[in-house]
Chains A and B, each alone.
Chain A
């Protein structure tokens, strides 16, 4: 196997693994936070507005971890610097 196909194979494999492993943690975290927020809203429906706003802000914070993983896997697939090096060297 030549080095170009090793780079291509490793890139695709790494992109899949990045999404797979990287979305486990945020999924569990978002589940826990929504569970707690629902319990809090059920106990105190009057505080619904501030609870919802805080929940959204927290969800955005948690979600950004998954978004980092997604952006990295997108970079690995679409804008891979090592792949670009090989394409440039091949010309």
Chain B
């Protein structure tokens, strides 16, 4: 079953249903599907949580996921790990689910469309000043843009925009290229070789989800921790001055 043909670069171009100016393309449909799967599994797992010795299998599964995400985040930041779990964990789970479900025939990964990845990267683009301002205050956050002096302001702004673009294009390029490679291989050596590439694609999908989450955490941590280092520096000076 082929939904997105080989000469279409994005699943946005495949329109399933349209009514007036409202159109429903494949990307939106499969994004809704992934959202429904995630919400359903979360509902199923958190239906009867318990702190007894005997916990359900789903609760074990979710606890493992949460503890892995928390462990990764806590190595990036010194404090406030639980603030970042909702954003980073959701990004990781959404991208990972949509990349892994590619092995189901007929499924088109919503991350192979540049609109999905651009909106995910926009979330990170907005989350960086949000966490930076809420932990350091508006003045200290804006002051970071003028370090070491005011000439560097345009470069900081360009860096913010460029890394958002890089997040977008990295995820989109990886997943889309993988789909195209499998499509081309199917027409050249159809029997066994595409299966190996599918297995490689699962690995690439999980690694890309990990990288997206880790990079967004690095960006947020750099906005948050710049001020913390400043505080530590001042405290060291205060302690050191009497001696």
Contacts and interface: CB of A to CB of B under 8 A. Distances in A.
Interface of A: 49-50, 53, 56-57, 60-61, 63-64, 67-68, 70-71, 74-75, 78-79
Contact of A56 (B166, B170, B177, B214): B214
Contacts of B218: 57
B172 interface: yes
| Chain B interface residue bracket vs A | 20 to 34
Given A70-B177, A74-B180, A78-B7, A64 B166 contact: yes
Q: Is the interface of B mostly helix, strand, loop or mixed?
A: helix
Nearest to A61: B166
Contact of B173 (A49, A53, A67, A78): A67
Contacts of A56: 207, 210-211, 214
Contacts of A70: 173, 177
B152 to A, nearest CB: 20
B9 A78 contact: yes
Interface of B: 7-9, 72, 75, 166, 169-170, 172-174, 176-177, 180, 207, 210-211, 214-215, 218
Nearest to B211: A60
A18 to B, nearest CB: 13
User: Chain A interface mostly helix, strand, loop or mixed?
Assistant: helix
B173 A71 contact: yes
A37 to B, nearest CB: 15
Contacts of B207: 56
A68 B171 CA distance: 11
Given A56-B207, A68-B169, A71-B169, 12 more contacts: A49-B75, A53-B72, A53-B214, A57-B211, A60-B211, A61-B166, A64-B169, A64-B170, A64-B173, A71-B173, A74-B180, A78-B7
A3 B214 CA distance: 48
Contacts of B174: 67
A87 to B, nearest CB: 13
Contacts of A50: 75
B118 to A, nearest CB: 13
A81 to B, nearest CB: 13
A63 B9 contact: no
A63, A67, A68, A70 — most chain B CB neighbours (10 Å): A67
B178 to A, nearest CB: 11
Nearest to B71: A49
B215 A60 contact: yes
B8 A78 contact: yes
Q: What 10 pairs between A and B have smallest CB-CB spacing?
A: A67-B173, A78-B9, A60-B211, A64-B170, A71-B173, A64-B166, A79-B9, A70-B173, A67-B170, A70-B177
Contacts of A60: 170, 211, 215
